Structure 1
Amino acid sequence: MKFLFIADPLQGFSVKKETTLVMMDAAHAAGHEVWHCRIDDLKSISGQIKSHCQKLSIKRNEPNWFEVLKAELCELSHFDFVIMRKDPPFDMNYVTATWFLSEAVRQGVRVLNAPEALRNHSEKLALLEFMEFAPPTIISHQLVDIKAFHEQHQDIIIKPLDGMGGMGIFRVKADGLNLGSIVETLGNLGERALMVQKFIPEIAKGDKRVLVIGGEPVPYSLARIPQGGEVRGNLAAGGKGIAQALTPKELKIANYLGPILAKRGLHLVGLDFIGDYLTEINVTSPTCFVEITEQTGHDVAKQWLQNLENTFK
């Protein structure tokens, strides 16, 4: 089969930790063709969705980990699977790419995750559909709402809706120090809505990433544990990743949400948990394959590929 991965430039991949790379490697090792393009390579020519693509040979453990076998303009309909793995930010370039991919789907192309589902599931606001699993949460432009929430809960977390890797996350304790300044800065004086959640002390034990593939949870999470006085557990913010078996609560929620999200075309999802609370639903380019595989021996990329092959025979 032919796989096209839409992702960031290959030269920027972290060879040791890149989830997209191990997905490519798994497909390549199974004998499938692996191709790559960027979102700005997508175009419509005479109504057909096409892209400038590179066919790759993957050599993951070598210094030069990929070789370009050929490069050509391809119709997306020539691929068996188009895997959308562009990292955030979820900006207009990203949205435009999903519009191209929606037309490709209409033309019979299989795209995962589905472009409509990517547009419809903000990684922060998607939580609103499943508030029974979430901590106390509000989303608002207004400082008055955030002040009232802080007065009620005393210890809160504030974060932008379009952040990634822990960027822009602030904790405000009971003294309310700098609350107004933080909200004005993050919210650009009310122009941007902010997510505010009650602080969960269990963050000390990790912000856990639970991966769900084709509606089925991976049996291990990656607990991203804050280091050095940080409140953020994100690996990009210096968190330490420790793989752990899923708790009964995590497994229950993942088993409930998995089939719902898979039915919408979200083949790969990353559910974030702090304590027993679901805090985010990540759909753009969930990570942590490498860390879980290395620490547990459970080959997450192999599970991803086998699920995909079995589901879409």
Structure 2
Amino acid sequence: MKIAFIINDHKTEKANYTTPALGYAAYKRGHDVYFIGVGELSYASKGHLSVRSKTINGKKFNSQETYFNALQKEDFSTITSEELDVLFLRNNPADEINERDWAQNAAFIFGEIAMNNGVIVLNHPKSLAGAVNKMYFQHFPEILRPKTIISRDHQEIKDFFKKQKQKMILKPLQGSGGTNVFMMDKKNEHNLTQTIDAIARDGFVIAQEYLKEASKGDTRLFLMNGKPLKVNGKYAIMQRINASNDIRSNIHAGGKPAAVKMTDQIMELADIVRPKLVQDGMFLVGIDIVGDKLMEINVFSPGGINVISQMYDEDFATPIIEAIEKKVYYKSMYSNYLFNSRLATL
């Protein structure tokens, strides 16, 4: 099959990221693999997607790093949606905030064009467009979520702070990777107004109850087709331990990964989120868990597959590509009878 991955930018994509791991797994299985930066997307006059991409063929590599580094040195070539079987949207819109605002929604828009041209687009672009900020998380059952308000009203946020016994988390509605996340308590209450102002400059503020279990970090679990990703009895799951004196557990923010066992509680949380993820066509998702609550659902570019693969000495990337191969097969059998949103999670 011909599979393309949309990334934010070739200049910022690193060889040890999850998307290159997926691309390398597809390459090893003999597929034609293309990497496309958001800025390389275009719409052709004939009504199809036309992109400048980087690809490599006919060579053997010993690791995803040597593969991706070699691919990055290749010149750009052009491919259209008429030639592609699969377009995997792996860019993170939050990384574009205040930098390239035009790029935040581009992948969804062009993804819909590719979908209309018969390309399987993962995750489903229409659902991704609706999940571009953390409000998407609020559509899942309340039992899963910490107590939360979303507002720009200072007094409403301060009242919530009092109800939470003067301890809460503040973060922006848009964003990821632990950017602009603050823990407010009695010690820094004097900075509350200033902190709200700083976040509110770029939009709405999320005020969320502080979970004491968060001091130990969080648990990242990958879901594929709505179910926990599992290989040879091992789950794609890891604990992300906070860096010293930092409430953020994101690996890019200094958090440290560690092995962790699957529990009945985590399985129950995963089972509750499954129906909506399946309905929305969310093929590959990362859920972040603290205690008995979900803190975040990453539907754009959840990272850590390469880290987890090394941690458990298992290849978690190849089963993801195998699942995509099945979708291409199903589409060939049913032609245009299966909607992209349903095909995405079959």
TM-score by length of 1: 0.92
Task: Please list, as runs of the form range in 1=range in 2, the aligned pairs for 1:291-306 lying within 5 A after superposition.
Answer: 291-306=307-322
Is 1:96 the counterpart of 2:100 in the alignment? no
SS of structure 2 residue aligned to 1:43? strand
1:107 aligns with 2:123: no
- 2:22 is aligned to 23
Question: AA paired with 1:144?
Answer: Q
Alignment check: 8 A CA contact 2:7 2:13 kept = no
**Quick one: which amino acid aligns to residue 132 of structure 2?**
S
Q: Distance in 2 between matches of 1:114 and 1:63?
A: 28
| CA 77–246 in structure 1, closer or farther in 2 if over 3 Å, else same | farther
1:10/1:95 CA distance change after superposition, 3 Å: closer
Q: Is the 8 A contact 2:9 2:38 kept in 1?
A: no
CA distance in 2, matches of 1:13, 1:100: 20
Amino acid at match of 1:37: I
Range with greater deviation from structure 2 (158-167 or 82-91):
82-91
- Matched with 1:202 is 213
Within a 5 Å distance, the mapping from 1:209-224 to structure 2 comes to 209-218=220-229, 219-224=235-240
Which of 135, 155, 168 is the equivalent residue of 1:125? 135
Q: Distance in 1 between matches of 2:67 and 2:273?
A: 40
Where does 1:1-313 land on structure 2 (aligned, <5 Å)? 1-15=1-15, 17-46=16-45, 47-57=47-57, 59=61, 60-62=64-66, 65-67=69-71, 71-89=76-94, 91-130=101-140, 131-153=142-164, 154-174=166-186, 176-188=189-201, 192-218=203-229, 219-313=235-329
Is this contact kept in 2: 1:214–1:259, CA < 8 A?
no
How many angstroms apart in 2 are the aligned matches of 1:61 and 1:168?
31
Q: State the alpha-carbon separation in 2 of the partners of residues 69 and 276 from structure 1.
A: 47
> Which TM-score applies when normalising by structure 2?
0.84
- Once residues 255 and 123 of structure 1 are traced to their aligned partners in structure 2, the CA distance between those partners, rounded to angstroms, is 23
Residue ranges of structure 2 left out of the alignment (5+ in a row) = 230-234, 330-346
Q: Which moved more, 1:116-125 or 1:21-30?
A: 116-125
Q: Could you tell me how far apart the structure 2 residues matched to 1:243 and 1:311 are?
A: 31
Identity %, equivalent residues = 28
Aligned-partner Cα distance in 2 for 1:69–1:93: 24
Which digits, 9 at most, give the CA deviation of each residue in 1:208-236, with x for residues without a partner? 21111111212242211112111111111
Q: Quick one: which amino acid aligns to residue 314 of structure 2?
A: H
- Cα deviation, 1:220-264, whole Å, max 9, x if unaligned, reads 422111121111111111111112122212211212323431332
What SS does structure 1 have at the residue aligned with 2:55? strand
| Equivalent-residue separation in structure 2 for 1:272 and 1:122 (angstroms) | 17
**Contact 1:203–1:225 under 8 Å retained in 2:** no
The offset of 1:97, in angstroms, is 2.8
Matched AA of 2:82: S
Task: Let me know the Cα RMSD of the aligned residues.
Answer: 2.0
CA distance in 2, matches of 1:38, 1:98: 13
Letter in 1 for 2:69: W
Task: For 1:101 and 1:113, locate their aligned partners in 2 and report how far apart those are by CA, in whole Å.
Answer: 10
Change in CA separation of 1:136 and 1:281 when aligned onto 2, cut-off 3 Å: same
* 2:169–2:207 Cα contact (<8 Å) kept: yes
Indicate if the aligned counterparts of 2:81 and 2:117 stay in contact, CA closer than 8 A: no
Q: Which has the higher strand share?
A: 1
Distance 1:61 1:235, change over 3 A: closer
Distance 1:25 1:104 in 2: 23
- CA spacing shift, 1:118–1:265, aligned 2, 3 Å: same
Aligned-pair distance for 1:150? 0.3
- Structure 1, gaps ≥5 residues long: none
Query: Which secondary structure state, in structure 2, belongs to the residue aligned with residue 26 of structure 1?
Result: helix
For these two proteins, the number of residue pairs brought into alignment is 310
